[in-house]
Structures are given as C-alpha cells and as structure tokens.
Chains A and B, each alone.
Chain A
Amino acid sequence: MPAVQETIDQVRSIDVDKYKYGFFTDIESEKAPKGLNEDIVRFISAKKSEPEWMTEWRLEAYRHWLTKLEPTWARVSYPKIDFDDLYYYAAPKTADKPKSLDEVDPELLRTYEKLGIPLREQEVLAGVENARVAVDAVFDSVSVVTTFKDELAKHGIIFCSISEALQEHPELVRKYLGSVVPITDNFYASLNSAVFSDGSFVYVPPGVRCPMELSTYFRINEKQTGQFERTLIIADKGSYVSYLEGCTAPMRDENQLHAAVVELIALDDAEIKYSTVQNWYPGDSEGTGGVYNFVTKRGDCRGRNSKISWTQVETGSAITWKYPSCILRGENSRGEFYSIAISNGHQQIDSGTKMVHLGRNSTSRIISKGIAAGFSNNTYRGLVSAHAKATNVRNFTQCDSLLVGNNCGAHTVPYIEAKNSSAQFEHEATTSKVSDEQMFYCRSRGLGEEEALALIVNGFAREVIQQLPMEFMAETQKLIGISLEGSVG
C-alpha cells in the first residue's frame, strides 16, 4: 500500500514539536483596534461597504451576543477567553484587488506553495485528466484570489467570497443568510454573525451539476486575530455540489480563536456534499498554544428528496467544538455524517452531529470514528430526533472509539429522541484498543510500531476515508500518520 508508505515517511520526517505548517508570512495588514463594541461592528461593515440592512443585521447579532453566556456543556476545558483582547478585523494590505495570480503578492503565493495548495490548475493532480479544483483562498479573512470563476459562471454557478456576494447578489444573501443558523442560535454563532470577515458563497442554479469540486483553504496568519468565517452554500432544485474545505495554521504560542459558521441549504432534489480536513495547529507537546475551533455548521434539507452529506477529518486544533448537523425538513430527505476525529498530545475534541428529522420518510446515517492518543480527550456528542409528525424516519448510528495509550479518554454522549412509533432508530457504539494481535502481526511483517499503528488506524477509519473526495483521501491518510506521531513506544 503506497499510501501507507507515504504516511510512514511523513511520520518520520516530522518532529512533533515542529509543526509542518508552522511558519509566518510577513505581510503588512490593516487591523481594527482590539476589542468589540458596536463601533467595531460598524467599522467591519463599513470596511466591506455593506448595505445598510447588513450592518443592522450584524448589530442585532452583536446585541444578542451580549445577552448570551459562553456554553459550558461540552467536555472541554480551557482558560477563559478575553473577548476584548482580540482583533476582530485584519485585512492584507492591497490597494486594488489583483486581477490575476501574477498580481498577487509573491509572499502570499510562497505561503501557499509551502502549504502545497494547488492554486494553479496544472498543480491540481498531475496526470488526471479533467480534474479541476477551484480554489477560493482565504488569507486572513479576506478573499484575495478566486480562480475558475469564469468557467463556473458559464454554468450559472456563483462561487465567490461572501463580501462579493453581498455586493453583487444581495437578494440571495439576504434571503438565505442566517436562515439555517439564526443570529440568536448560540454564543459563537451570534459572535460570528456580528463580526464575520469573509468566507465563501456558493449558489448552484436549478438542475445544474457543478462540474468540479469547490474548495477553500482557510488559514489563520495574523497574530491574535480571531478568524470568523462565514460560508453559505445554496443548492437550488435538482442541483449538485461538492465542496472541500481544508485548513492549516502557522505555529504560534498564543491561543487563537476560530468561530466559523457554515450554512448549507438544499432545495428539492438537490444534493450537497461538504468535506473538511482540519489540521490547525494543535499546540505543542506540553499542550500550550493551539487553535480553539468553535464552529457551528448546519445544513438544511429544505426540499423534498434533498440530501446533505458531511464528511470531516479532524486532526488539528487544541480544542474542537463542532457539530455539523442536518435539519431534515423535506420529505424523503437524507442526512449523512462521516467523521474521523483524531486527538493526540493535549488536544480536546467534542464533536458529533445532530440529525433532526422533521420530514416524513427522511433517513440519516452517522458513522463516527474517534481515535484518542497521548493525553487527549475525544468525545462524540450527537442527537438523533424524530418529530411526532415525521413518520417512517430511519437512522443508523455507529460510533467507534479507539484508545491508544492509557492517559487519554474516549467518550460517547448520544441523545436519541423518538416522538413517534414509526421512527426506527439504531445506535451502536464501541470502544476498544488496538489489539496486541494486530500489532504483532504487523510487526512480524517488518513494520515499525508507529507504521503499524498508522496502518491499523487507517483501517479502522476506512469507512469514512472512502467518503472523501479523491484528492483528500491521500492527504487524510498522511494526516492520520502525522497525528498519531509520538503516541506509541
């Protein structure tokens, strides 16, 4: 298995204290002053030349945020965040927006190069014909460059930054923004609604099958900058779109806050596939530093026969608090959630999903694989519920946990609520360790301990890895190897 060999090489080449993506790019940036108040919210809105209603919307969100308390129910612990000690806006300094890649600051391009982002078409996947990945790269909150837009436009697909969408398609944004995750939803969603800097906007018109995988790379670069991404994806009737999101962050000592909101809307017969690979800086081997990832992701299967599928690979961040969910409103709608969550070192993950069945005959499937190593804690928290009028709904849930070492914890907290008799819910969870027999077998074939572990864990998570788009699959297998580095021996 060549992919596994690659994993092993990666594991060897990377020292746990030298995070692969830990480097800074020195670019001047424009910042709003520290702290948060109505003026800052207005400043952000003005900076982005937003319409009046948008400014009001943000302010309303901000006022809601003030009335909310930080959630404490997740099984994570961290020092109190001083929300007044953060910058809420930072933009790379460019006088005019670049017209093509050649005009982009070479510093930036070099950063992407180091990260291995396939910005140029020829770099996407050598040797694969017609493989195209459109990248809307977000560098410190502002979309700097968007490629492939023209080709997408031919199909009528809108793929742009959300600030651009606010200028050019305000009616679409106004109709859908906040319709899945309202500004009152939770502490971090309200915060995000008030101060979000940028993010991606996708609209796929009726009957269109998006010809390529859409992808965004988020990155946190500016010191002490909380990053508040906002993503809105709308798949109109009968359309299909697959969206990829991958994240890396430079190394730093101060904790970073990341509170994104992702909203997906699938109308009749539409399908959205959303894949994430998240490998932000998890903190050093002592557990200091690292990103706080408090994300609200929710999809709304609004139409009949609509489908939303979440696939996530969570390997980074010091703290992850993330529950990509599906509101299954449409008749015969379907929600899927595939997750691999790997925690090592002192990472804390509290992640899972919600499948809220409101429509008749809606179905959902949850496959969650948690791997805990080192001193980490890894929690699956999920809700499956059937409304009284949602007849004949079905859910299948499987959450498996694997423990590597004796200082970590694996937890499962499912909530299963059936409000009618025709709902058929099945839930299974297991926790076990890597068996000595499996290790022995691999070792006897000449594999080292870490290589063997990477192989076994890749096998354990296979069902989820297979759901990933091809270009993410290889990356994920490498990531699993890297993430488990230092956990055995």
Chain B
Amino acid sequence: MNLEVRQHAATGPEEAASAQFEARAATLPGASWVKELRSGAMARFAEAGLPHRRIEEWKYTDLRTAIRQLPAPASGEASGRGQPATLSAIEAHRIVIVDGGTPQLPDAIPGVEVTSLEAALAEGDPAFRDLVSTWPRGVESSVFDLNTAFMQTGAVIRVKADTALDKPLHLAFVATGAEEATLYARNILIVEDGAALTYVESYEGPNGLAYHVNTATRFTVGDNARLAYVKLQRDGDEAVHLAAIGGEVGAGANLALSPFMIGGALSRNNVGLRFDGRDAVGNVAGVQMLGARQHADTTLFVDHKEPACVSRELFKSVLDDRARGVFQGMILVRKDAQETDGKMMSQALMLSDRSEMDNKPELEIYADNVQCGHGATTGALDHNLLFYLRSRGIPESTAQALLIEAFIYEALEAIGDEAIEAALSGYAHDWVSVRRDTAE
C-alpha cells in the first residue's frame, strides 16, 4: 500500500521514444504551434516515462513491464495500398489509412467535410487547435503525450449542423505487416448541432507481428446531435493497442459509444466523456472477448458537469484461457449536476480457471439530488442454464456458445444500427466458434 515511488532509470522503450523523437521531429507534420505542442508533450513523457502500476489508473496495466520495445513510428510509405477486411460488407462512406500513410478519402458527402490530419495541422484554425490540445478529464497519460508528440496521420471529420448521413462513416486502419512500426493516429470528429452520425473506427493487422497502435480520437457532439460511435479493435495477436477516446456531449444530445475489443496482445482504452449541456444522454456499452494471454483494459471517466443528464455504462468481458480483463470506470457528478441519473455495470464471464478479471467501478459524487449506482459481477457460466440447454439435446459446446453470445448481446444492442450489430455479433460468433473447435 505504502510503497515509495523511486526514481527509476529510463527503460529501453522510454529511451527509444526520445531518440525516435529527435530523429523524426523535423519531418512530423504541422505548423509551428503543433511543433510546440509536440515538444511539450515529449518533455512530459521524458519526465514521466511509461505508466506503471504505482500510478493508480494503471494499477492493473503496467506498461513499464509489459512493453519491452517501442517500434519506430510508421514511415508512412511502407505499402500505402491495401483494403480493410473488417466490416467490408457494411455499406459505408469509407476512409482508409494503410500502414500510417495518407488517408484515402471517400467521394464528397453532402454536409460533411473530411480532411487529413496533416492538412488540418498545417493550418491554425483556433477551434481546431483547441480540439487537438484540450481534452476532457480521463484521457491524459504519458501514452497520450506520446501520441501528441508523434501524431502523423488521421482523419478530421466535420458533420455540419442538421445533417443526417444516409449511411455510416467508416474510418479503417489497416496494418499490412510490411513493417514492424508504431502507428500514431489522431482523429478529430465534430458533430455539429442537430446532426446525426453513425461512425465506425476499425483497426486490423496481421498475426505474429509486434506492431503498436497509439491512437487518439477527439469528438464533440453539438446540442441535440446524435453520435453512434463504434470502435472495433481486431489487431493481430502480438500487437499492442493503446487508445484514447474523449470528448464532450452538448445539451439534449445523444452519444452511444461502443468499444469492441477482440484482438491484440495488450490493449488499453482510455475513454473520457463530459456532459457540457443539460438533458444529454450518454450510453457506453463495451465488449471484450479475450483468450490466450491477451490483456485488455478499458478505463472510463464520465464527467457529469451539467444537470439532468443520463449516463449508462455497460461493460461485458468474456475471458478464456489465461486472458486478463480490466475495467475501471468512474462516474463523477459535480456539484451543479443535480438530477443526474448514472448507472454503471461491469460483468465478466470467466471461462477458464486461469483467467483474471479486475473491476474497479468508482463513484465520486458532490450533488445530492442524484440517482447513481454501479454494479460488478464476475462468475462462470451458469450450470443450470447449461443443463437446461443440454437437456434439450444441445451439445455442451454449442450450449456454451449460445450462452456466451447471449451474454454479450445486451451490450451490442446499444449501437442502434442493425447491420453493424449483426457484423459485430458475427465476429463474436467466430470467436466462440474458434474456441469451440479447439475445445472439441
């Protein structure tokens, strides 16, 4: 409990980061304000190093021991070609970024502006600057500083006021395996007042390659706007995926945020969202399905700054083999946020005796007229349910599969787009099938 924080010598990856920054700083995109931002962030990283278990928010995910080496930033020229396999069947406006290169932008979409991060950083629009440099509480970390220092590609999307898109917008990141690199992506997503958008961000890559993804997406949802945000992480089995997602929700707006983690050896999502206007609704529904020695951590910070907002957090973890799942959720209700209604639930299904789940659902409340609660459960598959299904002639492995899929379905439902729900459900089904095949 009471351990001293010792000054430590920089680890290999920490030294590598500094060296990489020195080598690349001159060629990284952006006007002079961006350069300042980058060197400030790098200085903070050099000071703090990678997050480790002595830092409360990183107690269960110690990057200082988990990350042995930090691959160099992607050159951006490794391949440049390639198409995403993930969610390719979904009809969508697609932005594709291959191996950290320049985004392939879709045809013009009425009411929507899409540019590359590089182009946006070259200019100095003050509103854009703010979105790049100021984030709500809950996402800051030295990993995020690293992202700021190296951000090289990404998309900047603006959905103009009262625009409703006919189909989802899909931002796909593809690692082809042409190089073992770190992808530093920064995306900005602006949904103006009254607009509506279904947005999918996907990550995929080959197995057997220890590449890194360090990505940050900053969103802002205007008054009475709607944003359904799905993040699908299907990285390769040796990949490290570190992400920050954060933004504000305006008055009367509706945000559905659904992180879905199925790939990667080590992943961490820092999610921070803040209610900036009354009567907004935030619905965070996450799923993680992990096997082998996968480690996935979702750390969530919900900041109720304004009154009468509703937040729902539902998090489902399915853990097999020696996987380790972590969920840390915090609901902060500030003094003025009267009539807040907040509920957080984390449920873990443990399929193996060697799996591990760490839950830390927190409440911090300063307003008295509120309804807040949280719950957390962990346990194995219900033997009675299994028995019931088997007594109906369903083989054990199929029965298990059915129960697992049913378990996560509650979280998938929150997305509100049937095609995407079905696609995610399909990935879950594949995961369960692979597991069943190995079991048999």
Contact = CB atoms under 8 A, between A and B. Distances in A.
Contacts of A431: 363, 365, 370-373
A73 B57 CA distance: 12
A436 B72 CA distance: 60
Contacts of A55: none
Interface string A398-429: 00010111111111111111111111111111
B316 to A, nearest CB: 15
Contacts of B365: 401, 403, 409-411, 431
Contact of A412 (B348, B374, B380): B374
A388 B356 CA distance: 8
Nearest to B342: A431
A404 B373 contact: no
A421 B373 contact: no
A388 B365 CA distance: 34
Contacts of A416: 357-360, 376, 378
B360 A414 contact: yes
Nearest to A75: B364
Contacts of B378: 416, 418, 423-425
A201 interface: no
Contacts of A418: 348, 350, 356-358, 378
A93 interface: no
- Which has the most chain A C-beta neighbours within 10 Å: B5, B356, B365, B366? B365
A69 interface: yes
A414 B376 contact: yes
A424 B363 CA distance: 22
| Chain B interface residue bracket vs A | 35 or more
17 contacts: A73-B1, A186-B1, A403-B367, A406-B366, A406-B367, A410-B365, A414-B376, A418-B350, A421-B379, A421-B380, A423-B350, A426-B376, A427-B359, A430-B372, A430-B373, A431-B363, A431-B370
A413 B353 CA distance: 26
A25 interface: no
Nearest 4 A-B pairs (CB), nearest first?
A: A421-B350, A403-B368, A416-B359, A427-B376
A410 B332 CA distance: 10
Contact of A427 (B358, B375, B380): B375
Nearest to B320: A421
A403 B358 CA distance: 28
B364 A409 contact: yes
A407 B368 CA distance: 8
A146 B127 CA distance: 74
A71 interface: yes
Contacts of A71: 1-2
A433 B368 contact: yes
Contacts of B348: 418
A429 B361 contact: yes
Contact of A409 (B350, B356, B366): B366
A313 B131 CA distance: 48
Nearest to B1: A186
Contacts of A424: 378-380
A110 interface: no
B351 A421 contact: yes
B8 to A, nearest CB: 16
B433 interface: no
Interface string A21-56: 000000000000000000000000000000000000
A421 B360 contact: no
- Which has the most chain B C-beta neighbours within 10 Å: A187, A427, A428? A427
B381 to A, nearest CB: 9
A209 B348 CA distance: 42
A68 interface: yes
A77 interface: no
A432 interface: yes
Interface in B374-393: 374-380
Contacts of A406: 335, 338, 366-369
A67 interface: yes
B79 to A, nearest CB: 41
| Chain A interface residue bracket vs B | 35 or more
B1 A410 contact: no
B201 interface: no
B377 A425 contact: yes
Interface of A: 67-71, 73, 185-187, 388, 391, 401, 403-433
A86 to B, nearest CB: 19
B368 A428 contact: no
B58 to A, nearest CB: 13
Contact of B373 (A407, A414, A423, A428): A428
Given A406-B366, A414-B376, A415-B359, 6 more contacts: A404-B368, A408-B366, A411-B362, A412-B374, A431-B371, A433-B368
B373 A429 contact: yes
A188 B2 CA distance: 10
Contacts of B374: 412, 427-429
Interface in B208-256: none
Nearest to B362: A413
A429 B359 CA distance: 13
A420 B360 contact: no
Interface in B1-46: 1-2, 4-5
A396 to B, nearest CB: 10
Nearest to B351: A421
B305 to A, nearest CB: 15
Contacts of A409: 364-366
B56 interface: yes
Contacts of A391: 353
B364 to A, nearest CB: 5
B23 to A, nearest CB: 38
Nearest to A383: B360
A427 B13 CA distance: 38
B355 to A, nearest CB: 6
Contacts of B1: 71, 73, 185-186
B362 A419 contact: no
Given A421-B351, A425-B378, A432 B359 contact: no
Given A421-B355, A433-B368, A428 B380 contact: no
Contacts of A433: 368-370
B363 to A, nearest CB: 4
Contacts of A417: 356-359
Given A401-B365, A409-B365, A433-B370, A187 B360 contact: no
Given A417-B356, A433-B370, A427 B377 contact: yes
Nearest to B350: A421
Given A421-B380, A426-B377, A69 B4 contact: yes
B307 to A, nearest CB: 12
A73 B56 CA distance: 8
B375 A428 contact: yes
A154 B362 CA distance: 50
B352 interface: yes
A421 B319 CA distance: 9
A369 to B, nearest CB: 14
B361 A414 contact: yes
B354 interface: yes
Nearest to A410: B365
Nearest to A70: B2
A414 B352 CA distance: 24
Nearest to A377: B366
Contacts of A69: 2, 4-5
Contact of B361 (A407, A408, A427): A427
Contacts of B56: 73
A1 B418 CA distance: 58
A80 B162 CA distance: 55
B2 A421 contact: no
A412 B56 CA distance: 15
A339 to B, nearest CB: 16
A268 to B, nearest CB: 27
- Which has the most chain A C-beta neighbours within 10 Å: B2, B360, B364? B2
